[in-house]
Amino acid sequence: MRFCFAPRNGSKQADMTTQTDLSRSAALYERALKVLPGGVSRNAILRASHPTYVECGRGCRVTDLEGVTRIDFSNNMASLIHGHACPEIIHAVTEQMTRGTAFMMGTEIEVRYAEHLCSRNRSFEKMRFMNSGTEAIMVALKAARAFTGRPKIAKAEGAYHGVYDYAEVSQGSTPATWGGIDHPRSVPLVHGTPESALKDVVVFPFNDTERTLAILDEHAKDLACVLIDLMPHRVGLCPADVEFVTALRKWSARHGVLLVFDEVITFRAEHSGLQARYGVTPDMTALGKIIGGGFPIGAVAGRAEVMDVLNPQSPRYVFPHSGTFTANPISMTAGMAAMLKFDRPAVARLNALTDRARNGIEGAIRATGAPASVTGAGSMFLVHMKQTPPRNYRDAYPTPDESRRLKALLDHLYNEGCSIISTGACTFSTPMTEAEIDTLVGAFKSGFAKLASMG
């Protein structure tokens, strides 16, 4: 049995790997290529030569098969709010596993966890659990169609909402395909996407109130919902303007269209989600990631009247829904332990640490003269290779030179012992302290200086 002891100084140990052959990882990848398309089950883990394979994780650090330890600022794409192997979650899940992992019956923890999540946000009158953020979006969109009897959805250009045909439209738009800003095209992400799906998705420019309302007006009678992430990652982690979100709420209410918030990623920003900063109440909210405590989960919460389309005892019942592992007691137990630990003081502390990092990186940008900027909110931010912070997808879309410089920066950070998301985004976890933050800021500063010397 191999044991993981994660040292405090991740960057020093990470530097050592540049002098060694990553033979175990390379060999494992050769095996993976024979049984997995591309050698992986998700493309996000691919690196230049081969993925890095994990030996174990503890707190905010991850150790790979070569024994190299790095500080983890990706946290499995923002899903681990308490980092790796959180003791409270391990204890709760271990205890539950002795009683069973899944049943064709209900469990008390499902009810208690729903009560807890609903207590965190007044707009969560009722909720239904599922198994991923993608599934939560699917259920929210289907519930909106079932409630309104209308076929179309509207979403922001470039926004990622999982892999449902309708939700992923325009996610991968490029300058060659995205069309005019007054009428962004519905661009498929996957070859073979049905034309009918594209026709039922209305795309609008993020943070552009005037153009968005004009586009929505053209489809008002056919729209079931407006789907919006208040700080969409693929759009550049740019927070939505209050005026923009307020206008969407007023427009949707006036036209009988549901307003759906995707808080799969952003629920970590405040105790009741990023929506707390906007004073806007959606009809439904999709959740996932941190509410699973490190296990697969999704949820849809919202107005009781809307959620009752899922209720077999309701006269409004028009949406049959079930799932083999939906509300399984392991995800419920882990999620409950995680969210009880992520209370108001924990949220405030983590956001303050993130502010420290963001301010430090902005200071490093000024000190080095790097053409870079930072966007984000709560316990997440994204570093752009652009001098002016973007406000929408087209602003955030990287040029070839910006992509080249970002890759060089990511490689530098990795060698300095800091692992971040490949877009330039960082998500923080509660085991982190000022020491980890200052290590990250220092790595960014030396990375910016290195880029300047490269030209």
Taking only the tens place, the pLDDT of each residue in 381-421 is: 999 999 999 999 999 999 999 999 999 999 999 999 999 99
Using DSSP bridges, classify how beta strands 418-419 and 69-72 pair: parallel, antiparallel or unpaired. Answer: parallel
pLDDT(13) > 60: no
| Residue type, position 164, single letter | Y
| b/e burial code for range 405-420 (CB count within 10 A of at least 16 → b) | bbeebbebbbbbbbbb
CB 443 within 8 A of CB 418: yes
* pLDDT (0 to 100) of residue 20: 47
Looking at CATH, the fold of the domain delimited by 87-341 is given as Aspartate Aminotransferase; domain 2 (3.40.640)
Q: Which of 86, 77, 61 is nearest to 334 (CA)?
A: 86
For tokens 């049984």, the residue is 35
Question: Taking Cα atoms as reference points, which of 267, 297, 278, 239 lies closest to residue 113?
Answer: 297
Mean pLDDT of 58-77: 96
Question: What is the Rg, in whole angstroms, of the alpha carbon atoms belonging to the chain?
Answer: 22
Q: Where in the chain is the domain with CATH 3.90.1150.10?
A: 10-86+344-454
pLDDT at 109 over 90: yes
pLDDT at 9 over 50: no
Give pLDDT, residue 455. 65
Burial tier of 108 (Cβ tally within 10 Å: 0-12, 13-18, 19+): exposed
Fold adopted by 10-86+344-454:
Aspartate Aminotransferase, domain 1 (3.90.1150)
Strand arrangement of the beta sheet that strand 373-377 belongs to: 373-377, 380-384, 425-427
Strands in 183-277 per DSSP E: 201-204, 223-228, 258-262
Residues noted as catalytic: 160, 262, 289
pTM, 2 dp: 0.93
d(C-alpha 133, C-alpha 110), whole Å: 18
132 and 138 in contact (C-beta within 8 Å)? no
Parts of the chain belonging to CATH 3.40.640.10? 87-341
Q: CA 422 to CA 124: how far, in whole Å?
A: 33
Which tokens belong to 111?
Answer: 């009810």
Q: What is the percentage of the chain residues whose pLDDT exceeds 70?
A: 95
**SS3 (DSSP) at 256:** coil
E strand segments, 109-257 = 126-130, 152-156, 201-204, 223-228
- For residue 13, report the phi and psi dihedrals to the nearest 5 degrees: -70, -35
